[in-house]
Structure 1
Amino acid sequence: MATLFSSFSKLTFAAGLLAAVAGCTSIGAVKPLSFGPVSAPKIGGSDAILVSLNGGILPKEAVNSLTKPDQLRALAAEYQALEKAPLGQTVAWKGQTSNASGEISVGTPYQVGRQNCRQYTHTATIKGAPVKGQGAACRNEDGSWTPLS
């Protein structure tokens, strides 16, 4: 009888401990960030969502050597990566009017105040030369992303 009571006590203690640990992990746990639906960025027109990226994170002299359609492709790829790409997946772009190309990889989303943010890297080949930009951006209420300086 004592052995049965001892086994029951151990089982009850283990169940109680598991319940307590489960409760602790759900209280104050980091919630995954969700990025709400936003209209797709326009390519070939002025769009506040792309303009808010302020030219992106590639070096300005490299970006300025691209045609306007290719600049918009690079920015649209940055936007898509920030908005939708899971960690470890890249978003690639290829120039419409040149041999320029690039890809963007993003880090895990995090929060600064009430804004969702991500670090990201943009590597590209422009006019045959490799270029790279690294930075972070935070998402605004209107769905645009603003790079942090």
Structure 2
Amino acid sequence: MVRKPEGNTAMGNLARTHVSLTGALALAVLLSGCTGSGGVKPLSFGPVSAPVSANPQPAGSDAILGALNGGILPPQAASTLSRADRLRSLEAEYQALEKTPGGQTVAWKAPVGRTSGEVTAGTPYQVGQQNCRQYTHNAQINGTPVTGQGAACRNPDGSWTPLS
């Protein structure tokens, strides 16, 4: 009777295949934690899934921006902005609060004229059950520098409301 070496048996081949697949799977799991994209990571307190609201509003919607109650720029300066520039400034505030790592800025600029701004949000913190951030909005409105500072807390629907 001729015996095949043990390494060539069907059982031996199955064992080697299992070991190879297990090693490949382990490597894939280890590498899956690496993003390599260099993109912005979610806020440490941000939800992983969609907002709780039954009708979530997309970023930039009137409801989301309306919750900012006009933003943190001084009202007398903000009132001189055109509607489009006002929306640009509020969208920058929302984006800074919602998506930007602490200390980084979100810039906005009017397509015409000398009006622009930058919003910088601080490190997220929690007050009770609400996630909050301090932020600063530096703007040039028709060439005049204006600054607003404040804090806002995130609502269950994904909007942010400034603290007064």
Please give the residue correspondences for 1:1-149 in structure 2 after superposition, counting only pairs within 5 Å. Answer: 32-35=44-47, 37=50, 39-42=58-61, 47-149=62-164
Deviates more, 1:95-104 or 1:76-85: 95-104
**Distance in 2, Cα, partners of 1:53 & 1:96:** 23
Task: Classify the secondary structure of the residue corresponding to 1:33.
Answer: coil
Per-residue Cα deviation, 1:17-37 (whole angstroms, up to 9, x for no partner): xxxxxxxxxxxxxxx312455
Which residue identity is paired with 2:73?
L
Q: 1:130 to 1:35 in 2, by over 3 A?
A: farther
**Distance in 2, Cα, partners of 1:118 & 1:53:** 13
Task: Classify the secondary structure of the residue corresponding to 1:49.
Answer: helix
The unaligned stretches of length 5 or more in structure 2 are 1-43, 52-57
Name the counterpart of 1:28.
none
Give TM-score scaled by structure 2 length: 0.66
Q: CA deviation at 1:87?
A: 1.2
Per-residue Cα deviation, 1:4-46 (whole angstroms, up to 9, x for no partner): xxxxxxxxxxxxxxxxxxxxxxxxxxxx31245562214xxxx
Q: CA deviation at 1:88?
A: 2.0
Per-residue Cα deviation, 1:40-79 (whole angstroms, up to 9, x for no partner): 214xxxx110001011000001110010000000000000
Q: CA deviation at 1:97?
A: 4.6
CA contact 2:155–2:161 (8 Å) conserved in 1: yes
CA contact 1:70–1:98 (8 Å) conserved in 2: no
Give TM-score scaled by structure 1 length: 0.72
Runs of 4+ in 1 over 6 A off after TM superposition: none
Computed over aligned residues only, the root mean square deviation of the Cα atoms, in angstroms, reads 1.4
Q: CA deviation at 1:109?
A: 0.3
**Distance in 1, Cα, partners of 2:118 & 2:148:** 11
